[in-house]
Amino acid sequence: MEPNNIKDWIKRKKDQRERMNPETLFDGILKGDLSSLSSGITLIESQDKDQRYAADGLIQKCLPYSGKSIRVGITGVPGVGKSTFIEAFGMLLIRGGFKVAVLAIDPSSSVSGGSILGDKTRMNELSAQDSVFIRPSPARYTLGGVARKTRESILLCEAAGYDFILVETVGVGQSETVVKSMVDFFLLLMLSGAGDELQGIKKGIMEMADALVITKADGDNKLRAKLAAREYKNALHLFPSNKNNWIPKVFTCSALEKKNITNVLDVIEDFRSHVMSSGFFETNRKSQDNKWLSETLKELIINDFFLDGQMIIHLKEIEQKVINGEKTSFQAADELYKIYTNARRV
């Protein structure tokens, strides 16, 4: 490297470190500075151990300023109209004077490297707004890792003053359950016409929903959407009542024609006052915090084990014994666990 290049390189590194300094980021985030918020989330998403410490410091600082938003989960199968809906709903919120953050949980992004929010084309108007922050799903992680990072991102967005945090997830696998455990209000988007089976919507997911919206209620589809809404309304009566004593609302909307979008906001406001006065809002957030404590602890312990080179050597050896039929898998796990705990005894 040429001397000048080295100087440039050192300067670049220094600038980078300064930009990633938790103090600097925190100040920026509190002022609502978008690039600080972005860098803060990048820090959270880092795999680097030092950066992880810095990220923890940043989250710690943001914590007292977090919690004031309403967190909304939005799910539904690919093609149901999530992105189009978020564009219309987000714009409605913006016109109401709210600041809106859109985050995503996309387990497939760890495989494809892509993301459901990659299609910002459907959020043209929304993504151009100053009071909107859009962040795609962190890639390269397990669902548990993505979930933790998204949850931490919510805290940062709240410290930055966002009033509504919309967490989008695609309706496959376990991601809905994960999103449900970090939001206050859970919205399920559904298509009319296609059967539940076809939509891959499990009954359990319908049971989690605080509102169910039949999308694309426009043109020829209007009547069908209405009929579907009626059917779902009847079906929901057969479900056991929710812990929050809230009867899930069912209605239709057209994000394309921007029809009935206000209903969603009205329902969220009704829901909020319902759970605030019953105390469920607070208890739910507390129990979510508890759940996340144990989830994070599990993740730390698992990482401690699986990132330990010595343990991996033991694991490989014992695995072979299981394959050879010399040990049962339970004996093997028990033996590994003993080696692991002994090695950590001081």
Residues 53-112 that bind Mg ion (CB under 5 A): 82-83
Per DSSP, what are the bridge partners of residue 251? 213
Q: CB 254 → ligand GDP: shortest distance, Å?
A: 4
Report d(CA 216, CA 220) in Å as an integer.
10
Q: What number of chain residues touch ligand GDP (CB under 6 A)?
A: 16
Residue 215 interaction partner, one of ligand GDP, Mg ion, none, beta carbon < 5-8 Å per kind: ligand GDP
Tell whether residue 215 is a contact of ligand GDP (CB under 6 A). yes
CB of 82 to ligand GDP, least distance (A): 3
Residue type, 220: D
- Which position has the token pair 């039949």? 214
User: Could you tell which of ligand GDP, Mg ion, none binds residue 175, using a CB distance below 5 to 8 A set by kind?
Assistant: none
Contact region with ligand GDP (CB under 6 A), list: 100-108, 154-162, 231-239, 248-256: 248-256
What DSSP state is assigned to residue 138? P
One-letter amino acid at 328 equals T
Strands (E), the chain: 70-76, 100-105, 132-135, 164-170, 185-190, 211-214, 249-252
Beta partners for 132?
100
- Residue 78, interface with ligand GDP (CB under 6 A)? yes
Residue 69 binding result from ligand GDP, Mg ion, none, given CB thresholds of 5 to 8 Å by partner type: none
Q: What is the DSSP string of 23-89?
A: HHHHHHHHTT-HHHHHHHHHHHH---HHHHHHHHHHHHHHGGG-S-SEEEEEEE-TTSSHHHHHHHH
CB of 236 to ligand GDP, least distance (A): 22
The Cα 56–Cα 43 span in angstroms is 9
216 binds, among ligand GDP, Mg ion, none (CB under 5 to 8 A by kind): ligand GDP
For residue 181, the minimal CB distance to ligand GDP (Å) is 21
CB of 193 to ligand GDP, least distance (A): 12
| Binders in 110-139 for Mg ion, by CB under 5 A | 116
Question: Residue numbers of the site for ligand GDP (CB under 6 A)?
Answer: 76, 78-84, 119, 122, 215-216, 218, 254-256
